[in-house]
Amino acid sequence: MLDPALLVPALLTLGVFSILYRENPVFRCIEHVGLGMAAGYALVTIVFNGMLPRLVAAARHPGDMAAVLLALPLMAGIAFTALRRNALGTLGVTIAAAIAAGFAVPGLVQNLILEQMRATMVPVGLSSDAGFDSLVIAVCVLSTMAYFSFTREPRGIRGLAAITGLYTLMISFGASFGYAAMSRITLLIGRFLFLLRDWLHLVN
Amino acid sequence: MLRALTRPLAILLGGAAILVYFVPHQAGQWVEARLVDWLVLLQAAALVAGILALIRRQLARVRSGSLSQRIYPMLMLGSMAAMLIAGLFGTTAATAFGALYGSVLQPIQASMLSLLAFYMASAVFRSFRLTSAPATILLISALVVLLARIPLGEQMIPRISVFATWIIRGPNVAATRGLWIGMGLAAVATAFRVILGVQGPSGGGRS
Amino acid sequence: MRISYLGLLASLSRIDRRIIYLLVACAVALPLLAASTTRLIPAEESQSFHRAIAQLAEGETVLLAVEYNAGTAFELEPMVVTLVEEVFSRNARMVVSCFDAQGVGLVEETIAELAAASGKTYGTDWVFLGYRPSAPGVIISLATAPYAVFPRDHRGNSLSDLPLSSSLSGYADYQLVAVIASGTTAQDWVIYGTGRFHAPIIVGLGGGIGPTFQSFIDARTITGLIAGLRGAAEYEQLAGRPAEALRALSAQSTAHVLLVLLIVVGNASFFAARWLERTPY
């Protein structure tokens, strides 16, 4: 219980939980220490693990075409981190955005559009459970998309589809809320297990 | 000169990034590896720029605020500096960097996120209301899933798991599928706008 | 008399938030003191998740992509622990990549402990690549040119010097891809990874985004799915390794029941207050 390796984390945990009682400077101090350390940790990881190994490898083979080509993004990256808008920095951002966008296009078309459409276009019917479920899903998918169609006023069959889409979305959001609640509670259980088991040894 | 190059370069590199997916040739893979190399380095630079912006903002707060207002940004900068200095001497668990992470940052991060459970409970008590038909449907769906995902709920209402599974595999799949398809279409359109320079830093006047 | 009951009910809406916090704390803490485990009926997606790992043969290689930090560790670490134990017990090999800059130390420590307990050697049975920025870049690189982004592993070894990683050239070297993620990395794997990797992809997710991935199971974009503590507990049971997730489920149960009661009482109180406002006496 008095082992510093457990006492410090336990006191920090209790310090964070103190905000539940009321606003206090202890919580604010811990909050800012956490933010600073998180930024410092991320900076070290990004620089030492994310950038340096590749740059060192490139520096060891300066004649290599791949290493030479790395000079442009490196300069653009340095210009970008200068935090003032400049042409080289803008070039770096543009290159990164264009490459990321280009890489995404085939996957978006294949996995978010075509595969999802293929999974919807399956035999439907009222005679079997599977056929009926497929029919419900197909109708609800179309209705959900109709709900987000704003080109014309939703009247008649369009209005009915939009309402069905809204209710479908609400069912889905309800399910997502249930899972999100589960997730938050799980994280709290983790902290309580630390306090009760690891620190106070009240739980085996 | 550089500004004139920006848009053609975006079209060239973005177009190449699309095409290499369909070219299993070694040359295509070499180009893909270079594009990935660039992307990783530039995104790392973007993350570093973000953290530098945070440092600048905190320095400005230290300079401008009163003594009581200076304490928190100073604490933030001090703890960041401690982590950076510790990181210079190694980043494994056995180093000071690892010890600071394990005994200070880890409990703070875990506790901060776990606070959300308390706030969520308070919010559902005060704001989750049966005030309209869509809200009622959302609430019923949430209640069913909340009870069905725990052993106690399955014991109290035996058929609730079947209903929850139907919600997850039926309407939930339909709604998310509609959203994924819509997101996919919008993302493809945006990707082409970025590559062609209609949107983003090289065009449209926005960055 | 009826009015006074309603008044009492209506007054509950003004209850101090700290009482609700105390109820939440009790609902979570008390079941932990009297811990018990129950048997679950695993979902089809959890069974597919487990089956994909159970089918691994000796010497096959798993690519494990992990994205969590200290904040979300308790939800996802049980998944990683069971998965790594199962993979090692089948004498399969593992390449691990971390997608969260703030989770690198945590992930390496966890897997190193499990590897030591299973008697596995670093470099031969498993390799930790560490963290690199840009999830899309890393995913594409792992599929086609791993050395472009990872010239060295997290410990500074050259990948071409380690027996396991020296044999890696891309997607064809992996028999299974497992993604355990709390954020958008799983979505990145769906968009960038599924077309490039030919191996089946299984996904373990934080509860918040779990239901949104069900449509990828139906579309067969991913093979298996476990979400949240419930998913982790089902997987522990299927793997025959009951641990943290199954144990925490009792506390999860009481907390969920409390949430349901809060919703019901909150609404009853709201409508009671509204009825009293509209009633003239």
- pLDDT, tens digit only, all 281 positions of chain C: 556 788 888 888 889 999 999 999 999 999 998 867 778 889 999 999 999 999 999 999 999 999 999 989 999 999 999 999 999 999 999 999 999 988 998 999 999 999 999 999 999 999 999 998 889 999 999 888 787 778 888 888 888 889 998 888 888 889 999 999 988 899 999 999 988 888 999 999 998 889 999 999 989 999 999 999 999 999 999 999 999 899 899 899 999 999 999 999 999 999 998 888 887 65
Q: What is the mean pLDDT of residues B165-192?
A: 94
* ipTM at complex level: 0.91
Which stretches of A48-155 are DSSP H helices?
52-60, 65-69, 71-81, 87-107, 115-120, 129-147
Q: What Rg value do the Cα atoms of chain C yield, rounded?
A: 23
- Whole-angstrom distance, CA of residue C82 vs CA of residue C202: 14
**How much is the average pLDDT of B153-167?**
90
Q: pLDDT value at position B205?
A: 46
pLDDT, averaged across chain C: 91
CA distances to A179, B122, C25 from B8, in Å: 46, 54, 59
Q: Could you tell me which residues are beta bridge partners of residue C176?
A: C62
B10-63 confidence digits (pLDDT tens)? 899 999 999 999 887 888 888 998 999 889 988 888 888 889 889 999 999 888
Closest residue to B149, CB basis, from A32, A182, A188: A182
DSSP run (H or E) holding C195: none
What region, left, alpha or beta, does residue C225 occupy, with left being phi > 0 and alpha being psi -120 to 50 degrees?
beta
* pLDDT score, position B201: 65
Q: Are C219 and A116 in contact (CB under 8 A)?
A: yes
Distance in Å, alpha carbon of B20 to nearest chain C alpha carbon = 11
**Contact assessment for residue C70 and residue A182, using Cβ atoms and an 8 Å cutoff:** no
Tens digit of pLDDT for each residue in C169-188?
Answer: 888 889 999 999 988 899 99
CA distance C205 to C44: 16
Averaged pLDDT, B105-124: 95
Ranges of CATH 3.40.50.720 domains, chain C: 44-241
Q: Are residue B44 and residue B4 in the same domain, yes or no?
A: yes
> Does C219 touch chain A if contact means CB atoms closer than 8 Å?
yes
Residues B53 and B30 in one domain: yes
Pick the CATH number of C44-241 from 1.10.940.10, 3.40.50.720, 3.10.450.50, 3.30.365.10: 3.40.50.720
Q: Which of C118, C81, C98, C94 is nearest to C232 (CA)?
A: C81
The answer to whether residues B83 and B15 belong to one domain is yes
Q: Which residues contact C13 (CB under 8 A, 6 or more apart)?
A: B126, C266, C269, C270, C273
Q: Put residue C66 in one of left, alpha, beta given phi > 0 → left and psi -120 to 50 → alpha.
A: beta
- Nearest C-alpha of chain C: how many angstroms from A49? 6
Minimum mean pLDDT among A33-37, A123-127, B121-125, C59-63: which range? A123-127
Last residue of a domain, one of B75, B105, B127: B127
State whether B77 and B119 are in the same domain.
Answer: no
Task: Choose among C82, C54, C48: nearest CA to C203.
Answer: C48
Domain count, chain B: 3
* A 105-164 residues inside an 8 A Cβ radius of C: 106-108, 110-112, 115-116, 118-119
d(CA C228, CA C79): 9
Residues 209-228 of C with CB under 8 A from B: 211-212, 214-215, 218-219, 228
Touching A (3+ Cβ pairs <8 A), the chains are B, C
pLDDT per position as a tens digit, A32-46: 999 999 999 999 999
CA–CA gap between residue C96 and residue C109 (Å, rounded): 12
The domain of B46 spans: 1-88
C7-17: per-residue pLDDT in tens? Answer: 888 888 889 99
Contact B172, C211 (CB under 8 A): yes
Provide the Cα torsion A31, A33, A35, A41; round to 10°.
-150
Quick one: pLDDT at residue A126? 82
pLDDT digits (tens, 9 = 90+) for B69-114: 889 999 999 999 999 999 998 888 788 999 999 999 999 999 999 9
Minimum-distance CB partner of C28 among A50, A189, A197: A189
Q: A154 CB contacts (<8 Å, ≥6 apart)?
A: A146, A161, A162
The beta-carbon neighbor of C266 closest among B46, B125, B149 is B125
